[in-house]
Structure 1
Amino acid sequence: MGSFIVRVLINGLALWVASWILPGMDISTSATTNAVSNAGVTQGGDTLGVVLAYLFIGLIFGIVNAFVRPLVKLLSLPITILTLGLFTIVINAAMLSLTAWLSSYTPVHLTIDRFFWTAVLAAIIISLISMVASWIPGGRR
């Protein structure tokens, strides 16, 4: 249970960094009309609300990665082998897009540009941050 909470925290941090770097990725709440981003925090936005929004999307992303991703990886194993593992980036982008779709039914929304490349770049950023965070003791068991 403790490692899942650590993963949710890492996912929230990775999503924050990805949305900070990529202009086509935002997290917003239904209570606000503008996107919750790093600029919102520095301009006096509700910091606790922003942190909770990223943690909530990190929770959804963690659940999608725990339940859907293993099945998709198994079904796409031949393509992954043919591309020498590069198809994993596409799988990660698809999991991020699925998270965005699922979050559209919640008060906190993850929005990604209609361009597939935004999801791919976000998946690369999130994977790199997760890899670095897994080096932290207790980050991945």
Structure 2
Amino acid sequence: MGFIIKLLLTGVAVVLASYILPGVHIDTFLTALILAIVLALLNAVVRPILVILTIPVTIVTLGLFLLVINALIILLADYLVAGFSVDGFIWALIFSLVLSVINAILDMIF
């Protein structure tokens, strides 16, 4: 039950972030929920592989390369989910930061 609530909160966060950022476009709330599921799957499967493969770069950049990995996952989700689009790498990076902040705020509230 907690996973479903987390997905709903992430869907709300995606919609809020798309309203805030002009470079991120999402069609419907259903698309936001699908995006939340895809992001959860990508973060569970692809992200650990990328983190392990980029450990030297992450150490040299003192962890800042993890932001690049987050942006790449957002761009991959853009490719996979119809109805969701990001206008470029910088918008994906900003979207991942805004999405993290909104998710943290919603987690504190609920």
Superposition TM-score, scaled by structure 1 size: 0.69
Q: Which one has a larger percent helix, Structure 1 or Structure 2?
A: 2
For residues 81 and 136 of structure 1, the distance between their equivalents in structure 2, rounded to whole angstroms, comes to 34
The equivalent of 2:81 in structure 1 is 103
The equivalent of 1:18 in structure 2 is 17
Q: CA 1:7–1:72 in 2, change beyond 3 Å: closer, same or farther?
A: farther
Q: CA 1:136–1:60 in 2, change beyond 3 Å: closer, same or farther?
A: same
Q: Over alpha carbons, which structure has the higher Rg?
A: 1
Whether the aligned pair in 2 keeps the contact of 1:7 and 1:62 (CA below 8 Å) is: no
Whether the aligned pair in 2 keeps the contact of 1:61 and 1:99 (CA below 8 Å) is: yes
Which sections of structure 2, spanning at least 5 residues, go unmatched?
none
Which sections of structure 1, spanning at least 5 residues, go unmatched?
29-49
RMSD, aligned CA: 1.8
Instruction: Note the C-alpha offset of 1:120.
Output: 0.7
% identical equivalent positions: 36
SS across alignment from 1:23:
coil
Listed one character per residue, the Cα deviations across residues 15-42 of structure 1 (whole Å, up to 9, x for unaligned) are: 11221111111113xxxxxxxxxxxxxx
The answer to whether the aligner puts 1:54 opposite 2:28 as a matched pair is no
The equivalent of 1:124 in structure 2 is 97
